[in-house]
Amino acid sequence: MTADTDEAWFFDKDAGHLVRPYAITNGRTGPARDGFALITLVVTADPRTDTSRLAPEPAAILDLCRERPLAVAEIAATLDLPVSVVKVLLDDLAEARLILTRAPVQLAEAPDISLIQAVIEGVRRL
């Protein structure tokens, strides 16, 4: 077998090289901490970070997030990776302090219905 035929079994011209998600995350299926929502913003901590010694996927994440913050969902879509894989990679990058994250703002709790009704009744009395 030549080098070309050795690689032919895992190469699809349409899909490119096929690497299973668990290979990218070293078998992990989820991040160690649960802090990454789909709309969590991610930015590279130091834009001058050298990515030459990193695996391709974490390096691509750092490169994507150098100029402006991106949401977890945007990163996954741009890299064409499952969100679960991106969350594991982001967890690793956060642990190494290579990225900064901003969690989505929590929505305020809805006011009590009785309070809203009392306000409406008060306005009607005016």
Position 4 in a domain:
no
Please, which residues have CB within 8 angstroms of residue 85's CB and are 6 or more apart in sequence? Answer: 21, 24, 25, 57, 76
Position 32 in a domain:
no
**Domain span holding position 107:** 41-124
Question: Residue 24, Cα to own-chain centre: how many angstroms?
Answer: 14
Position 94 in a domain:
yes
Position 75 in a domain:
yes
Short-list 40, 31, 110, 119, CA closest to 74: 40
Position 35 in a domain:
no
Position 12 in a domain:
no
pTM for this predicted structure: 0.67
pLDDT of residue 9: 52
- DSSP secondary structure code for residue 70 in this structure: E
Q: What is the pLDDT of residues 13-30, one digit of tens each?
A: 665 556 677 677 776 767
Position 30 in a domain:
no
How many domains does the chain divide into? Answer: 1
Q: What is the pLDDT of residues 51-105, one digit of tens each?
A: 999 999 999 999 999 999 999 999 999 998 889 889 999 999 999 999 999 987 7
